[in-house]
Amino acid sequence: MITLTIPAMTIFGIFLIAMVMIGVVTHGETTTFEDFTVGGRRLTAPVAALSAGASDMSGWLFLGLPGAVYMTGIGAAWIAVGLIIGTYLNWRLVAPRLRTYTELAGNSVTLSSYLEERFEDRSRVLRALSAIVTVVFFTVYVASGLIAGGLLFNEIFGADLETGLTVFAVVIVVYTILGGFTALSITHSIQGTLMLLAAVALPAIALWQLGGFGSLHDAVTGTSPALLDPGAEASFADNAWTAGGPLGAVAMISLLAWGLGYFGQPHILSRFMSIRSTRDIPRARLLGVSWVVVVLTGASLIGLAGIAVLDQPLDNPETVFIELSTQLVNPWIAGILLVAVLAAIKSTVDSQLLVSATSLTEDFYRAFLNRRASDTSLLLIGRLSVVAVALVAYVIALSGGAVLDIVAYAWAGFGAAFGPVVVLSLFWPRMTAAGAKAGMVTGALTVFLWDDIDPLLGPLQTGVYEMVPGVLAATAAALIFGTYVGRPPARTWRGTMEHATATPRATGRTGYGTAAYGTPDYGTPEYGPSRGAPPSQDWWRS
């Protein structure tokens, strides 16, 4: 158990109060449902980049990844390589078109509503399916964040898991329901900066104490040479490391496959929808990818530094960041570093809560119960949905579990269910709604059932991360059904970095397209792909 002095506790308290105050201050900016969900599509490049990165990484950045490297060595950092590649491709391929298409597709504020409009699905099955996948997997994902928050409070303050979960959940829910997307974007900018500083500062301090990279290398290889072999996996058991064995092709593919998940993460994709113009995306991409490279490199070094610096092996490897922070620096600095862990956890949990609440409000309440709902009622339902999702996730979190394992499952679920469908929807104009439905269902079910399916394969059993078969199966299903089942949308969707068109295609039949949806207004928007920045001059949007 770690006991911190009053200075560190004070820093924690100030940070939590500041987050709530941001929610209070931005409450007046949240006057419409669009403000609550996507901030009116007014995010600048730096804020969008930091918000996307902070939403992405979660407590996994400072708990799960350093813990994995601490246990098995640098081979675990192949996860980081996959994530860096996935981040770049997501910004490069998905962000520009998704920003444009969601505005053209009825100004969609959720992935579900975009897919329904994009594929002109009058049955609403596609919308319901995608909303169910979003809420189910995000509730599990939020639970992993609450567990990480409870673990942090337990290690620092000695609070039991339930108390830590409660404090953590209450703070997040309060500022999320008050300020919505605007509050989250501002807090993410602050939290993303803290995460960057911590990912640089702590390994730098550890290296300085050790005497540089040479000393780190000697200390780690002295424990087990496999720890610094990128093609090997050390074994950690009974508080000791052994040589282990080769990482193997399956393990390597599984680690790199984490990058595939980016294309289907609604809480990251919502940042692409919210950036003020596609002209801001190249700058945001540079900032976002650079941020990811730095923080993932730092987190991996923290795991190695823990092996070299700490006198005794840890009972819980996921606390290596916490242990190093409290042993290497004074309580004031330790408090700042540990706030970065809290920031990493909060920035993901609040995003997932908001996306889940938006889906419940937009894709269930308005789509099926009250299609003429006013902004006032939508805001109320959205805020109540935040509380509801948080309560369910809280109950799940009380059962405990390893942060990395839970994140891996939820990440694979989104990546397989949404990733192939989103990418194909942006680059394959004639893909049908049947293809989207088949891809989504196949991807989600494969992830759900892979642990049961894999052992049945006998000699073909792989043990591969469920993301891989999930994405492959979903892509195959989407391609087959999208080609041979159903009719292509009546509108064609084509776009480049700066411009996109969604135009009615000549047809002699009734049904999809303008006959079903009316003639959409594709005139010049007030801001966005063709006009650039909105008139707002608030500091977080300037």
pLDDT digits over 474-526, tens only? Answer: 999 999 999 998 888 887 666 543 444 444 443 433 333 333 333 333 333 33
Q: What is the pLDDT of residue 243?
A: 75
Band (pLDDT 50/70/90 cuts) for residue 532 is very low
| pLDDT > 70? residue 461 | no
Q: Longest C-alpha distance within the chain, in Å?
A: 76
Roughly how many angstroms between the first and final C-alpha of the chain, as a whole number? Answer: 44
CA distance 316 to 347: 24
Q: Is 510 exposed, middle or buried (0-12, 13-18, 19+ CB in 10 A)?
A: exposed
Band (pLDDT 50/70/90 cuts) for residue 186 is confident
| pLDDT > 90? residue 177 | no
**Model confidence, pTM:** 0.83
Q: Tell me whether residue 323 is in a domain.
A: yes
Q: How many CB atoms lie within 10 A of CB 181?
A: 31
Q: Residue 182, CB half-sphere, CA atoms under 13 Å: how many?
A: 26
| pLDDT > 60? residue 147 | yes
For residue 135, what are its two tokens? 């809420």
Q: Are 541 and 280 in contact (CB under 8 A)?
A: no
Percent of all residues in the chain with a pLDDT value above 70, rounded to a whole number: 87
| pLDDT > 60? residue 208 | yes
Rounded to 5 degrees, what angle do the CA atoms 249, 255, 258 make? 135
Q: Are 367 and 130 in contact (CB under 8 A)?
A: no
Q: Tell me whether residue 274 is in a domain.
A: yes
Highest mean pLDDT among 25-39, 76-90, 459-473: 76-90
Question: To which H or E segment does residue 237 belong?
Answer: strand 232-237
Highest mean pLDDT among 162-171, 178-187, 500-509: 162-171
| pLDDT > 80? residue 237 | no
CA distance 219 to 106: 58
| pLDDT > 90? residue 282 | yes
CA distance 292 to 284: 12
The pLDDT of 51-66, averaged and rounded, is 84
CA distance 506 to 124: 24
Domain that holds residue 173: 6-401
Rounded to 5 degrees, what angle do the CA atoms 239, 406, 70 make? 30
The conformational region for residue 205 under phi > 0 = left, psi -120 to 50 = alpha, else beta, is: alpha
Band (pLDDT 50/70/90 cuts) for residue 4 is low
Q: Tell me whether residue 270 is in a domain.
A: yes
| pLDDT > 90? residue 5 | no
Q: Tell me whether residue 505 is in a domain.
A: no
CA distance 168 to 2: 19
For residue 125, what are its two tokens? 């099955």
Residue type at 390 in one-letter notation:
A
For residue 343, what are its two tokens? 């920031």
Structural domain count of the chain: 1
Percent of all residues in the chain with a pLDDT value above 90, rounded to a whole number: 24
What digits encode the pLDDT tens for the residues 71-83? 888 888 999 999 9
The pLDDT of 392-399, averaged and rounded, is 86
CA distance 208 to 215: 10
Q: Tell me whether residue 21 is in a domain.
A: yes
Q: Are 488 and 432 in contact (CB under 8 A)?
A: yes
Highest mean pLDDT among 15-19, 267-271, 426-430: 426-430
Q: Tell me whether residue 496 is in a domain.
A: no
Question: What is the average pLDDT value for the chain, to the nearest integer?
Answer: 81
Q: Say which DSSP state 298 is in.
A: H
What digits encode the pLDDT tens for the residues 315-371? 888 889 988 998 898 888 888 898 898 888 888 888 888 888 888 888 888 888 888
For residue 35, what are its two tokens? 């403000």
Q: What is the pLDDT of residue 480?
A: 96
87 vs 124, more confident = 87
What beta strand segments (E) does 380-496 contain?
491-495
3 state DSSP class of 432: coil
121 closest CA partner among 136, 138, 106, 99? 106
Q: Of the ranges 222-236, 375-389, 519-533, which one carries the lowest mean pLDDT score?
A: 519-533
Q: Of the ranges 76-85, 101-110, 380-389, which one carries the lowest mean pLDDT score?
A: 101-110
Q: Which backbone phi and psi does 41 adopt, to 5 degrees? A: 55, 55
- Which domain CATH number covers 332? 1.20.1730.10
| pLDDT > 90? residue 441 | yes
Band (pLDDT 50/70/90 cuts) for residue 536 is very low
Q: Tell me whether residue 160 is in a domain.
A: yes
Band (pLDDT 50/70/90 cuts) for residue 297 is very high
Q: What is the pLDDT of residue 509?
A: 38
CA distance 134 to 147: 20
Band (pLDDT 50/70/90 cuts) for residue 298 is very high
Q: Tell me whether residue 450 is in a domain.
A: no
Q: What is the pLDDT of residue 284?
A: 93
Determine the distance from the C-alpha atom of residue 253 to the mean position of all C-alpha atoms in its chain, rounded to a whole number: 21
Band (pLDDT 50/70/90 cuts) for residue 402 is low
